[in-house]
Every structure is written in structure tokens, then in C-alpha cells.
Amino acid sequence: MRALSRDDLTAWLATQTVTLCAIPSVTRDEARLADYLMHRIPELSPGTKPIRHGNNVLVRCGTPGGPRIGLFGHTDTVPPTTDSAPCIDLDRRCVVGLGASDMKAGLAVMLRLVAESAALPVDLTCVFYDREEGPADENGLLLLCEQERDRLLQLDLCLVLEPTANRIEAGCSGSLHAQVAVHGKRAHSARPWLGQNALYAARPLLDKLAAATPQPVVVDGLVFHEVVSATQIATRNARNVIPDQVDLNLNVRFAPNRSVEDAQKWLLDFVGGLGTVEFVDAAPAGTVCTSHPWLSAFIKEHGLTVTAKQAWTDVARLTALGLPAVNLGPGDPEEAHRIGETCPLDTLAENHRLLRLLFARIASLPKPTP
């Protein structure tokens, strides 16, 4: 496929992003998008044969024998909040649509690189996977790490195109979810003095959560912020009943120098006697890999901004396999999951440019010694 001017490339990437946004792919409903990718990839790169596992799509292209690079992008989005159609807003110079930033813009860049794969100096593997926004144990990359483990373990470097506004965001925060039950005594709401309202009993824990402040933790020179938040609250009673139990979902985000077990112990100590804790979901933090020779050379040469990834991404899953991985995507992380989500047009072509420069730089360097 011929090279495009920057303006034409931006238009191509924006149009592709809108097309992807127009295909609904809320978590657990990614089949239509997987169908589209199975058709689109051979269309962009004739002779290229994508592999499908469930609603996960994997394709290998580029130069056989070159450095083995993996690009990763999840296909799912959070549920929609509006019914407005995705579009290109030329006045604001952005793509507007659910998933535009997180992370269908990244998928569009991956598809463009598939289209250009015959000219790439690397052996490229692109992985489009489902269910990233859902529970950790349903993540599609978890399935691929089992079914395509040998192929993935051959990769020399992995790039996750989560929204980073074209910064290198290294590592990622771990995530822990727990259901905390606070108990009371049930009674008729006409005679509340006969019971103990669990909602009121939860106030000491809620006050403690409200007073908790982000705790900065430095890992390999990058600042991660450890936080605990109440994200859901519910009771199990009728409207005319004093509740005897209130359930809170607490979410802890922890730095890469802490294990899941460390985070669980911290939360148990934090809650103390204010409630009963049941852990329901956990994902480990991702290792910071910016000291990898290929990455450090590229970062220094181009003066790229490097920050901590203050969120969970599949960098964690990849580094757990021993693969060097960082986040580098075109979307703005502050736009993720917002109403009227956008992705600036200029970031699309810039992400493509950075990846092409990185591929060229990698191809000129010796392979690091394991």
C-alpha cells in the first residue's frame, strides 16, 4: 500500500476509527467487530491470514526474521451513555464516539500498520482481543496467553496501544476489588428504633474512605499513586425495611512494587473492624520496562515523555510472561469512558509516525541479550 501524506494519513485513520466506533462492541458483545476484522485484515494486506480464537483476532505480518514486535489492542468498550453516531468533528479536530480514545483509535493505527506491513522492517504480530473492560478472569488476552503462548513468548517487545496521548506510559497500576459488608439489625421502617440501620453503621467506613488521600509511590523513577475508592453501594431490603446489611465495592489501585497479596493485606488492615471483606477480583500491576535497550535508546533519541500508567492495562499480563511491554497509544487517557468521548485527529498520525520510527530504530539495533 502506497505511503500517504500526513493529511491523507490522518483522514484515513480518522475514517477507520469512526468505522470501528460504529460497530457496537460492549464487553461480551464483540463478535461483530471480530467478524469485521477477519474481513478487513485480508482486504488491507492481501494474502495475510488472520487467526481467530472466539472473538480474539491475531495476525502476523511484516518481515520474517526481523525483530519480533507485538501490538495489542482490546476491541471492547464500556456501555454507551448516548445514542449519537460516531463522527469526525472538523471544528474540534477530533473523532467523537464511544471507544474513540479507549481504544478504537489504537486499533485503527494497528490496521494501518497491517496495510503497510510489506514495507515494515519488523516481524509484526497484531493482537485484537476482547473483554478487557470486564472481570480480569474473562479477559480475552488471558485466553490467547494459553492458546497462543508459544507464539507470544517469541516476541521481543510488546506495545499496548491503550490511550496515552503518545507518551510512553510504563508499567501499570494493579487493581483489586472487594465487597465489604457492614451489618445492622432489620426492622420495620415505621419502628426504626427496633433495628440498627446498616446504612448509618457504614458511615465510619465511608468517612475513612472520604478522608483517604492518594499515596505517591516511586518505582524506577516514576510516580504511581495508590488509591482506594468506594465505587458501588447497595442494600438487600424492601423500601419499608431498615436494612440489616449494606454492601460496598471497594477498588484499590496499587503500585508495581506491591503484589496482589500485599494489596489484600493492606485493605484488610484499612477496613479493620468496620466491615467484613470478601475479595472478588484482582489483577497484578505491570512491571516498568523503560530500561529495555530498545526502548531506552528510542526514548532518549526522540525525547519522549515517560510517565507511570495510573490505570490497569494488559502490560501487566505481558510482563508477567516475562515480555517487555509499555503503553503507547494515540487516545487521550482523560477521555476514556467519558460521555462524548473524543480522540484528537493529530494524535492519530503522530502515533503511527512514532511506531514507524520505533520499528526502524529497533531494526538497526542488535537484539538484547536475555
Using alpha carbons only, what angle is made at residue 110 by residues 323 and 139, rounded to the nearest 5 degrees? 55
Catalytic position from the list 30, 76, 116, 314 = 76
Rounded to an integer, what distance in angstroms lies between the CA atom of residue 162 and that of residue 105?
A: 9
Catalytic (active site) residue 138: no
Strand order in the sheet with 94-96: 87-89, 94-96, 342-344
Residue 169 falls in the annotated catalytic set? no
Q: Check if the beta carbon of residue 292 is closer than 8 Å to that of residue 305.
A: no
Whether the CA torsion 188, 191, 194, 196 is positive or negative: it is: positive
d(CA 330, CA 344): 8
71 vs 236: CA distance, rounded Å: 44
Q: Three-state DSSP class for 79?
A: coil
Which of 116, 123, 132, 247 is catalytic? The answer is 132
H or E segment to which residue 16 belongs: helix 6-21
Strand order in the sheet with 215-219: 215-219, 222-235, 245-254, 174-183, 276-283
Cα(42)–Cα(37) distance, rounded to whole angstroms? Answer: 9
C-alpha 108/C-alpha 96 separation (Å) is 14
| All three cell numbers of 16 | 477507520
CA atoms lying within 13 Å on the CB side of residue 17: 34
**DSSP calls for 340-354:** T-EEEHHHHHHHHHH
Q: For residue 158, which of 362, 289, 325, 285 has the smallest C-alpha distance?
A: 325
Torsions phi, psi for 158 (to 5 deg)? -120, 140
- List, by residue number, the catalytic residues: 76, 132
